[in-house]
Amino acid sequence: MRYLPLSPDDRTEMLTKIGVSHIDDLFRDVPAAALLKDPVDLPAHMSEMQVDRDFRAMAEKNIPAGSHAFFCGGGAYRHYVPSTVDHLIQRGEFLTAYTPYQPEISQGTLQTLFEFQTQVTQITGMDVANASMYDGSTACGEAVLMARRASRRKRAILSGSLHPQYIDVVRTATKYTDDETVLNPVDVYNADDLIDQIDDDTSCVVVQNPDFFGNLQDYSKLAEALHARKALLIVVVTEVVSLGAIRSPGSMGADIVVCEGQSIGNGLSFGGPYVGLLATRQKLVRTMPGRVCGETVDADGRRGYVLTLSTREQHIRREKATSNICTNAGLCTLAFTIHMTLLGEKGFRHLARLNHAKAVKLADKLSAIDGIEVLNDSFFNEFTIALPMDAAVAIEGMANKEILAGIPLSRLYPGNESLKNRMLVAVTETVTNDDMDRLVSALKELVNA
């Protein structure tokens, strides 16, 4: 009775009070054709203990990333998160904090968001960042809508090497507007190919660096071409650790930068929650979605923090809002901020170099295997390889040997036969030499079978 606290007499009294004789009367406006004739095909109710037991059995079917040799990436990466991060974010004042509507009692939350924004602008090379988005993909959708507001144009060009799930989110975000999204073929990711498509109706071009296949790109020339047409360059970064080693999007001329921040402070967690980063130029700040925290002084001259901009529909008239995003990934931004603070600039750069060095080491080992080709001329910590077999079948076979070898591209590009034998391999600081040797050995065995 824990979940059904009302007695039959209680229910009868409630129904009488509202003037109906039976609970079905409350649904009389629902057409008869829409009502189910039979009960839903679900198990009968069970005790709390049995529910707990059943869910634990289902959870045990999952394979935690840390239990196997792990080489999966594709937008979510396994990095080591110091125990300090989890210890601090579980403090009561952080766990119970929500939107800081009253700054005088929310100084701690506001300060961490201010520090978070500062870190994001520093690693992206931009002027201003907001107080987070839900995740990288939804931030990408928001960036396209932001570009429309800023340019007053409605044609967005999407690179063929943009993460396919980010593409899906952009198309969803623009589905019921009159925006035009131009999606390039998978093999079109060269900046020159994209430049040729820019016209006077173009609001933005969306690219990724490193791109979905791991390639590093220089988009400076693309940025110049866009700016000549008064359009915007949106750069997506799904592996934020890469910004410790490669040129920042801001230094290439990006107008809006979107990142998935999961790699810093946040575990894989079987897919979320994650944290989206969005940074831009100062001149575009009023078209940016979400909120911006700022530093000020109070009446006594003491430093304090406030919400400088809140262009959410909760705060202003709906038609004036830049976005209907209702909150921010506050606890995830806090984890990001703590981890980044622990690293500092030197540690962040060292972590990036370590990731790259390990990836180069594995790429060299895989290139030495007859029948396997590393397809990248350059990469950070993730690259694409071609196998002499179906990549999905090969990955399944290695999973049975406790090796999560990577992501088959056929999973994200179903029906594309040219990608059937290709797989993404990601290497982070958590990968050991033994993990690499096991992967190499397993692939050799598959190739020579």
- Does the CA dihedral 426-115-108-309 come out positive or negative? negative
272: exposed, middle or buried (Cβ count in 10 Å: 0-12, 13-18, 19+): middle
CATH of residue 422: 3.90.1150.10
Instruction: For residue 95, give the H/E element and its range.
Output: helix 92-95
**What pLDDT is attached to residue 1?**
43
**Quick check: 126 and 239 in contact, CB under 8 A?**
no
**Which range among 44-48, 126-130, 325-329 shows the weakest confidence by mean pLDDT?**
325-329
pLDDT tens readout for residues 177-209: 888 999 999 865 677 889 999 999 999 999 999
| Per-residue pLDDT reduced to its tens digit, 213-229 | 999 999 999 999 999 99
Q: What was the pLDDT predicted at 196?
A: 93
Q: Which helix (H) or strand (E) holds 55?
A: helix 48-59
Residues 6 or more apart from 347 whose CB is under 8 A from it? none
Kindly state the average pLDDT of the residues 21-49: 88
**Section 109-121 average pLDDT:** 95
Q: Which of 325, 340, 355 corresponds to the end of one domain? A: 340
Of 305, 323, 340, which marks where a domain is finished? 340
Residue 32 lies in a domain: no
Q: Are residues 167 and 231 in the same domain?
A: yes
> In 148-281, which ranges are E strands?
155-158, 180-183, 202-208, 232-237, 256-260, 276-280
**Do the Cβ atoms of 277 and 259 come closer than 8 Å?**
yes
What are 300-345's pLDDT values in tens digits? 999 999 988 876 656 666 667 777 676 668 899 999 999 999 999 9
Domain boundary among 340, 355, 386: 340
Beta strands in 92-174 (DSSP E): 128-129, 155-158
357-378 pLDDT, tens digit per residue, is: 999 999 999 999 999 999 999 9
CB atoms inside a 10 Å sphere around CB 43: 8
63 falls within a domain = no
Are 228 and 334 in the same domain? Answer: yes
What angle, 0 to 180 degrees and rounded to 10, lies between the N-to-C axes of helices 433-448 and 391-399? 120
Q: How confident is the model at residue 97 (pLDDT cuts 50, 70, 90)?
A: low
Note whether 263 and 372 are same-domain residues.
Answer: no
* Global pTM value: 0.89
CA 420 to chain centroid, in Å, comes to 25
Residue pair 175/187 in contact (Cβ under 8 Å)? The answer is no
Domain with 90 in it: 83-340
